[in-house]
Structures are given as C-alpha cells and as structure tokens.
Amino acid sequence: GENVEQHPSTLSVQEGDSAVIKCTYSDSASNYFPWYKQELGKRPQLIIDIRSNVGEKKDQRIAVTLNKTAKHFSLHITETQPEDSAVYFCAASIAGGGNKLTFGTGTQLKVEL
C-alpha cells in the first residue's frame, strides 16, 4: 500500500518568513495530493491540493509543488502570519479509485511574533 513520509515534524519560523513542508510517497499510481490544516481540537480542513497532471499550484500565500519522478511534493507558505500556526498534513491517493487518503504524520508549524 501507499506510504507517505512528511518532514519536518516541527517547524518554527518568524512572522513574515516562509515555511516549507516536504512529503514523499511510495505508490507511483497516486495522482491526488491534498494538504490539510488542523488547528488544535478541530477538524482537518483542505487548504490546497494538486493533481499529477500539473507541477505547481498557487493560492495567494500558499503553493504546492509536485515532482512525480522523485515522488515528492511540498507545501510553501509565504509571508507567514500567527494564524498560520497549526498542524499541517499532506496526503496521497488514487483519485477515482475510492480516493482513499494516506496521510503523513503531520508538521507542527509555529509562527512566532
């Protein structure tokens, strides 16, 4: 089955700096890669996703890049703000095959003032 590894497990940045979280996946058939943000005690919420037919996607301060050959994808957050502090999860799945998400173990992002 699919295996997703995520690094780092914790990340501390100064407000205004950029943050990068990296994930690798094992199943070359995976074609859908969402990123979820989870605040303490809350449900995961989708912040951005990418499909295997594109290499990069942006949404304001958030971007995701995908390298299918190397089987890794990354989340980039620019101009970080205190409200970006949360746990971020990457995931991978085969869209159209039940879309069963396999999650990484999460990155605790702390944005310091």
Which of 40, 53, 60, 98 is in the footprint of other proteins by CB under 8 A?
Answer: 98
Query: How many amino acids of this chain bind other proteins (CB under 8 A)?
Result: 25
Judged by CB under 8 A, does residue 45 bind other proteins?
yes
Judged by CB under 8 A, does residue 49 bind other proteins?
yes
Which of 46, 56, 58, 81 is in the footprint of other proteins by CB under 8 A?
Answer: 46
Which of 43, 60, 69, 113 is in the footprint of other proteins by CB under 8 A?
Answer: 43
| C-alpha triplet 103, 40, 94: angle, nearest 5° | 15
R_g (Cα) of the chain, nearest Å: 13
Judged by CB under 8 A, does residue 44 bind other proteins?
yes
Tell me the C-alpha distance between 29 and 15, whole Å. Answer: 38
Cα–chain center distance at 63: 9
**Is-contact 51 71, C-beta < 8 A?**
no
Which one, 49 or 68, has the nearer CB to other proteins? 49
| C-alpha triplet 36, 41, 87: angle, nearest 5° | 35
Q: Which residues bind other proteins (CB under 8 A)?
A: 1, 4, 6, 32, 34, 42-46, 49, 89, 91, 95-106
